Structure formats: structure tokens, C-alpha cells
Structure 1
Amino acid sequence: MGNEDPGTREPITFGTDGWRAPLSTFTSERVRMVGQAVATYLEDRQPGAVAIGYDAREHSRGFAEDLASVLTANGRDVVLSDRDCPTPALAWTVASGDFAGGLVVTASHNPPSYNGVKFVPADGAPAVATVTDELERQLKPPRETGDAPGSHRERDLRGPYIDHVADFLGEEFGIDVALDGLTVAYDAMHGSGRGVTDEVLARAGATVSRRRCERVPDFGGTAPEPTPENASGLVDEVTAGGADIGFVNDGDSDRVGIVTTERGFLDPNVVLALVYDFLLEYGDGDVVRTVPTSSLVDRIAAANGRSVHETAVGFKWVAEAMGDHDVLAGGEESGGYGVTAHLRNKDGVLVALIAAAAHVEQPLDERIDELFDTYGEIRQGRRSVDCPDEEKTAVLDALEGDRPDRLAGTAVEHASGVDGVKLVLEDGTWVLVRPSGTEPKLRIYAEATADARVTELLDAGKAIVDPLVDTQ
């Protein structure tokens, strides 16, 4: 439970990726409380300046200035981005520089009626729960002035980051990124990727067709989330032959969606497999994925003598595993992917460049065909079961305590309790039951090689969950 603002009685809580809230409660006063919590947290822990970035929303720059004023009042030097910038650009700036940490004002893919704040520690990875719990404990009205106020200066955080991304694959993996002759359609969704992702692709030689690459603070009235529905214009352009490949970033560009001429908008699970398989041609290492993410990468890793590290949902857990093991790349089912040698954080800009380089070497649709021929196709589905928040733990405990030996006619080979209860069957298919983090529901996920089998697994999963909910 986060501390409460006495004026609104609304809790300020840091979820899987920072504090987000509707603008009715995301106020300057409360943002300044977050700034004070960060200043207090860093006071005896980490020297150095704090870098601050922000997304393209209408009031994000003003909220970033609120944070800067609180930190300087606490004696901390601040470097403020001179323009809205991608979250990965801010995170890389922090990780590659002499910074105590960073803050970025963004609600990422949430609707324009929301905003948020992420705290990025000095290593550039997402803040783990022990850090955000401490920030919540330190929430209080800000210090207005100090005996030795810190300095406040603006800097271009995009240019050095673009230079780094443009050179990274060649320097780290020896990949010759030459996109000459490639036509790319890029959709910024009016977010912070404009002038960044498209610039990286153009610098590598691609001809870039730009969509929604103007700053529109309300994103045209839609949530800047990279889904097939929200990127329908991009999908139409690429599948009609207007471009060889397409990319779309979310509002702060830490996620990416990929569109091909044959398949349209790619399943994010397939994207992680593509990225990992391509990088294995030039490097070596394990892979990290969240519990609901496809086991296709497990098969790729096993074929290359590498391991898979499974984590709870949330990229902060992926990033933690990337640091704990010899990991080449990591990803999650929602379209966030990271490369350890670059940054232990998700980066939709770099992954777009990786995918473009892979496509030039061999078209992505052909790569996917080969992956499916070698490792089997994947199909996934999801259902929801109503369950009050206060009963979720009891239901999952009951399921864990009385796991079935068979499900949908197949023996259960093993189970995982990393995040909910995951039953892996002898045929390699699986069912996962985990609590929703935003609604009073349990989510049931299933994966198999055919849609009909996915339906069977979801039916079987629901059949064992429903009675447990009813008895609570």
C-alpha cells in the first residue's frame, strides 16, 4: 500500500513499471511528492546528478520541471531532456553516464487521460520492488529550498542515444547493418519515437515512410499502444506492398510492434523468438521470458545448448534475471524486449533496428516459416474468470495444493509457481492461471500448436478454476 496524499486520499503506488494515474489525481502536488521521495531515497545511497525525461503528453514537460525543482531544492543536480524522449533513451543515458538515477514522466501506452512517473536506478534497469516500496514509504510534501541548491541544465538526450543504437550491433556483434534498398513504414503513434526510431533506420540506409510522426499531445484521442487495431493503417500499408516491413512504437518507445507483408502484425511471442534466434547467429547466451510468454524460445535455446529463465510478469523481473545470468536477450508477451549488452531494460528502438537487419539478411516471414518448421507452430489464447481481489491468493493456493495429474487428456509433466500456477503437459503444451493486476479477475492462458487444442486447454483450465472460486 502506498502512502496517501492527505488532499485526495488517493494512494500513490508503484506498480510493475512506475506510478500511473488519471490526470484527475496525477497532480503537480503529488508529482512533487514523488520527487521528494526520490531525493530522500538517493540522499545517502548514490552521488551524482539525476537525469529527467518525459513523453509527448500535454503536461509531461511541466511535471518534469516539477520533479527537477524538488530535486534541485534537495541539493541534487538535474539534467533535463530538451525535448520529449523515449524511455530507453533516458535509461541508457543514466546507465552510460555518471548519474545517480533517472526519472521519466510517462504513462507509456495508457490513454491520453493518464500520466505517470518511472524511477530508473543508476544501472538503467527498471526499479525492483524493494526500491519502489521504499519510495512509497518516503512520500511526503517536498522540501522547498536548500542551503546548497543543485544545478539545473537541459541537454539533448536523443542524439547520443541515436549514435549509440546506430553503432551498437556492429560494435557488439559484428553485424553489418546495411538497410540500403529496404523500404520501412514507421508509425510513431505521435509519441516519443518520432525523430528517433525513424532516424536510426534512415541512418542505416533504409527509405522510411513515416506515419503519425508529428507531436500530438492526445495521440489523436487513442491510447498509444502498439496493437493491430491501433496500427491498422500501418498494417494496411505494409500488407498492400507499400513497404517491405513496418514498425510501430508505443507512446514512450520502450515497446515495438512489427508488421510483415504476409502475416501482418506479428505475435509478440514470435518477435522474441525472431530476435533471439537472429542474435544467436552472432552471439551466445541464455534467454529470459515471462511466465505467459511462448515456450518457442525454450526450444530455440535448448537446440543451442542454452537455458531459459522464467520470471513473473513485469519487465523489472526480466531485467533482474538478465543481470543474474549469462543472458543474451529477454522479453515479455506484451511486446517489450531487451538486449543485455545494450541495456537491461526494454527498448523498442533498438529492436526495430535488429528486426530490420534480420529482415535484410532473410525476410522475416521466411524466418518464421523456418522456426515453425523446426520447432513447431505456436497458438495462444486467454480467458478471464471473475474473482474478488481478496480471494485470488486462496484460489491459487487451493490449485497449487491440489494440482491435477492430467489436463485435457494429457499428463501434467511439471508445474511452476513463479507467477500463479503454470501446468506444463507431456506434449509441451501448457495452461497458466494467474491473477490480473488491474481487475478482480483470474487470467487463464494456454499454448499449443493448434487453435482447437488451445480451446480444449482453456476449457479444462476454466473447469478446474471455477469450482475453486465458488468455494471461497
Structure 2
Amino acid sequence: MLKSHFKYTAKVEATRNAKTAKCQFDLSSFEASSLVSTVIGGVSLTIRFGTDGWRGVMGRDFTVEGVKLVAQAISDYVRSRGLAKRGVVVGYDARMNSEEYADACIEVLAGNGITAYKTSRDTPTPVVAFAATRLRAAGAIMITASHNPAEYNGIKFIPHYGGPALPDVTSEIEGLIGKTKPAATSIREADRRGLLALVDFKEEYSEWALSLVDVDAIKRSSLRVLVDPLYGSTRGYLEDILRAAGCQVSSIHSDRNPGFGGLTPDPTTPESLKELANSMSGFDLGLACDGDGDRVAAYSESFFSPNNIFPLVLLHLIELGVKGGVVRTVATTHMVDEVAEQYGLKLYEVPVGFKNIVPHLIMGEAVMGGEESGGFGYKWHIPEKDGILSCLYIVEALASSGKRRLEDLQADFKRSFKLLHSVRGSIRVERPERFKMTLLKKEFSDVAGYEVLETVRIDGVKLITSEGWLLMRPSGTEPLVRVYSESPSLDVAKLMLEWGLKRAEEISRSC
């Protein structure tokens, strides 16, 4: 019999202005992904670490054997740091086979004498990261492919500080893959030896998240909120937290469906939110998270992408008196730049991937960081993107303003700042790394006839013109090249995007 649900109760004392410990990190440049190849039973297996761990199609690229190899490498890393006695949290999302992959990790951890704290159900990534910090564990293993389609799965290591593994940690773990044969024991034996405990951090996480917002203001607003967890792991979390904050809450897609009902569990694509959009009658606000709860998008009378949400939440925090810099990825809206300039905030631009945002949050250089893909993090919280807490801040921004629609908040924003329109597209490529090398050698003088004033090459190629900007970069998680553009004119943004997709196709054919 497994240990009864282990409960760690922590006193919630931190506030928005909680001090953040200073840590040293290597911020040098690095590749978006790397390859580790090994042979298992005569079959070659390639493990690719992208912007957020190793992901692949289940049964083809992503296998139990590969998961055990990665789990052994993580075990070796944890032991080399003298952290094995702290144990490792093991979480998983709602996908097919996720719990089986999690159990494979537990078997390897136990084989190495490391206690596993397994979540009692599929659990959002930010809650798993939160659990690792509260348990003072060596870190956490999370089985998830986040927003990717249902046939994908993935594994990532979350170090003890509760955020994405930084490049030096990832590189060390990659170097350990295949060096040691996985040592595994059965789940039953792990339990018998006291190396397995079930944990449930919903209550503690909820108390913490609610301590970071003005619950009284939210209760006074009585906002009517429709929640769409997209059949993912935030179901039961987001609804209950919003109800505790005083919202009137209903939900759709709130049962577990490993295939996500045929949807892609990515709230940043309006196609995934069609039912939410069609169900908004009688509601002020619609909120959606991705499959593992670290991304967010919203709906009022229209769709609000992360690029629309970021500047509104940042401005709200500034109006509450929060002070400090802001960090965004190279693909994220420049409306954040406008807010930063007007309020004298230092702006940091980093490559795509939340792990590039994390150091600025941990070292206290930025109070908020975000990506156009819907991940937002905060200095006073765990250094992990958190869709649930971001939903709370969206609700708080509306409640504090006395407004009920995001469109009204955006109208206020437009009185002081220039509204920019962002669009994006992608093409499939056979050789992403070769595409990247070819792209970086290219020089561009214009974008759809608009003169290039500056070129940024920290992640792909970003071309800045007087009318907006365009970015081309290979994805770190899928065989895609993503193209982004932004302009004060939606027509110009679309024109630049079309131009960028054509250039990407030309480069792909030449690789």
C-alpha cells in the first residue's frame, strides 16, 4: 500500500515585494537544441533537447526506454550534486501514457536510492515546480508535451529552485545520458523500501496563489468567468481558485480526455478556443490554459492573445506600485517596450524559451517576464511560467479597474500607447538545424519593401523596419520554422508575414 497522500504545509508569508535570493547563472549564448544519440537493443534512439526538455511522438521518437535513460541521467546529476537524500517530485500531465512514463522515472529513481514524490493525479507544471520548492526536493521530473498535439509527450527536469533547467544543467544531464545503464526497481519494491510517496499540493498552491492577489477587490467585482482547461491538467485547479477569489465560474472541456477531444491543447491558437468563443453569452471573461497549465489566453468579446495580455498585466502591476525591469523573448510584442519606456523600466530581450527569462527573475532584475506563446512569470513567485496565476492577474486587473471586459482595458491602454498587431505562421522543414545555419548567413535589406533598420540574431533572424518587425526562427520543439511579424497596421503585419513565409520556403528548399 502506498503511503497516504503526503501533505506538506508551508506558512504563506510572501507578498508581491518578497525579496528574491541572488544566484549566479551562466547567461552565455547556447544552441536552442542539441542531440544525444544512443543505441538500445540494437535500435538507434535520438534524444533531442529543445527549448523545454525532450519531446517526441509517443512510440516513435518518445519511448519508455528513452525516458529511463533520461531518468538515469537525472539521477546521476542529482547524486553528483549531493542532493539525492532530498528526493525528486515526479509529475505528469493528462496525456495518454503520461502516468506510465512517470512510473518509469520512479522505478529508475528508486533503483538509485532516490525517493520519488509522485503527484496523486495529473498536475499542472507550475504546481509540480511549486511542490519541489516547498518540499526542498532536489528538483522535479515533469512528464508533459505542454501545448503540443496529443500524439506527443515529453520529459523535463525542474531544478530545486522551481524553474526550467538552465543551459549548463541541461548540458550536463545530456552528457550523462547513456553513460550508465538505468538502475530500476518495481513500483511495489520502491513503496516497500519507503522510496515512494504520493503528494497533493493543490491546497497549498491555491493558498499561495490567492495570497498574491487582492481577493477583496475580485470579490467586489463578481466577475462572471468561463474557464476552458482544454481537457488538460488545470481542470479543477483554475475553477476552484477563481471561485475562492469570488468569481462566478463555469467551465467547458473540464473532464480528463487524453486526446484533448481532438483539439490541440494550445490556447494561443483561436481555433482551439472556438467553443469558448461560442459560449461567452452571459460571461464577462473567458480564460484558457494549455495542457499542463503554464500558458494562458483569454476571451471577452474577442480573442486576446498573450501579446495582448502581457502589456495589460504589466501595466496593472506597475499601477499597483511594483517596480523593476521586464524581460520578453525576441518573438514577443513590442507593446511591452512601450510600457517599459514610458515608466523607465529596464527591458531585457532574450531568445525564445522561458529558461532564458528565468535568470532575470531569480536575480531580481525583472518583476515580470513573458513570451508570445503565453507563458508569464513573476519575481515574487516560483521562476516558472504559470498560467493559473496569470489568469488571476488578468481577473485582478479587470476587478481593480472597475471594468468587466478586456476590450475596455485595452481601450484605456490605447489612450497612452500604440496598439500593435501581431501575426504568426509556420512551415514544416526536414532539417531545422541546417535551415538555421543557412538563415543566419543571410542578409536582408528589406521586408516586403520596408527598409531593414536593424537585424537581431539572438534567436533566428529578426528584421526591424520603421513599420514593424519580422522574425524567422526554427522551433525548439517541433520540425517547424516559425515566422512572426508585428506592426501598427494589421495589413502591414500580414504583408510582412506573407513575405517572411515565402523567404522561409526559399531557404528551406535550398537546404
Q: TM-score, normalised by structure 1?
A: 0.89
Is the Cα–Cα contact under 8 Å of residues 82 and 156 in structure 1 kept in the other structure? yes
- Write out aligned runs for 1:177-326 (5 A): 177-178=218-219, 181-226=222-267, 227-238=269-280, 241-260=281-300, 262-263=301-302, 265-282=303-320, 283-324=322-363, 326=365
Give how far 1:126 is off: 0.5
The residue that corresponds to 2:366 in the other structure is: 327
Is the Cα–Cα contact under 8 Å of residues 423 and 497 in structure 2 kept in the other structure? yes
Q: Secondary structure at the match of 2:276?
A: helix
Mapped to 2, the partners of 1:180 and 1:275 lie a distance apart of 17
| Amino acid in structure 1 at the alignment position of 2:440 | D
Task: Note the aligned Cα RMSD (angstroms).
Answer: 2.7
Q: Secondary structure at the match of 2:126?
A: helix
Instruction: Using the aligned pairs only, state the percent identity.
Output: 35
Give how far 1:459 is off: 5.7
| Amino acid in structure 1 at the alignment position of 2:278 | D
Give yes or no for the alignment of 1:392 onto 2:435: yes
1:62 aligned residue (83, 91, 100): 100
Structure 2 CA distance for partners of 1:426 and 1:50, relative to 1, 3 Å: same
The residue that corresponds to 2:70 in the other structure is: 34
Structure 2 CA distance for partners of 1:431 and 1:11, relative to 1, 3 Å: same
Deviations 1:67-118 (A, max 9, x none): 1121122121221111111110001111233111001111222222222212
2:463 aligned residue (409, 423, 442): 423
Mapped to 2, the partners of 1:94 and 1:268 lie a distance apart of 27
Structure 1 range deviating more: 78-87 or 19-28: 19-28
Mapped to 2, the partners of 1:323 and 1:3 lie a distance apart of 33
Mapped to 1, the partners of 2:163 and 2:93 lie a distance apart of 18
Ranges in structure 1 where 5+ consecutive residues have no aligned partner:
none
Ranges in structure 2 where 5+ consecutive residues have no aligned partner:
1-34
Is the Cα–Cα contact under 8 Å of residues 484 and 497 in structure 2 kept in the other structure? yes
Mapped to 1, the partners of 2:501 and 2:110 lie a distance apart of 53
Give yes or no for the alignment of 1:4 onto 2:38: yes
Q: Secondary structure at the match of 1:10?
A: strand
Structure 2 CA distance for partners of 1:441 and 1:38, relative to 1, 3 Å: closer
Give how far 1:134 is off: 2.2
Give yes or no for the alignment of 1:86 onto 2:120: no
Deviations 1:30-86 (A, max 9, x none): 322221111001112142121111112242222222211211221212211111111
Structure 2 CA distance for partners of 1:471 and 1:322, relative to 1, 3 Å: same
Q: Secondary structure at the match of 1:2?
A: strand
The residue that corresponds to 1:340 in the other structure is: 379
Q: Secondary structure at the match of 1:208?
A: strand
Q: Secondary structure at the match of 1:199?
A: helix
The residue that corresponds to 1:151 in the other structure is: 195
Mapped to 1, the partners of 2:450 and 2:275 lie a distance apart of 42
Deviations 1:154-211 (A, max 9, x none): 12122211111111225xxx98443652111111222111111111100011111121
Structure 1 range deviating more: 322-331 or 281-290: 322-331
Q: TM-score, normalised by structure 2?
A: 0.83
Q: Secondary structure at the match of 2:416?
A: helix
Structure 2 CA distance for partners of 1:390 and 1:184, relative to 1, 3 Å: closer
Give yes or no for the alignment of 1:16 onto 2:60: no
Mapped to 2, the partners of 1:223 and 1:216 lie a distance apart of 12
| Amino acid in structure 1 at the alignment position of 2:327 | V
Is the Cα–Cα contact under 8 Å of residues 41 and 134 in structure 1 kept in the other structure? yes
Is the Cα–Cα contact under 8 Å of residues 5 and 30 in structure 1 kept in the other structure? no
The residue that corresponds to 2:416 in the other structure is: 374
Structure with more contact order per residue of length (Cα contacts < 8 Å, sep ≥ 6): 2
The residue that corresponds to 2:486 in the other structure is: 447
| Amino acid in structure 1 at the alignment position of 2:93 | D
The residue that corresponds to 1:100 in the other structure is: 138
Give how far 1:28 is off: 2.8
Q: Secondary structure at the match of 2:264?
A: coil
Deviations 1:247-283 (A, max 9, x none): 11111111112111x22x2122011111111111121
Aligned residues: 461
Structure 1 range deviating more: 332-341 or 360-369: 360-369
The residue that corresponds to 2:210 in the other structure is: 166
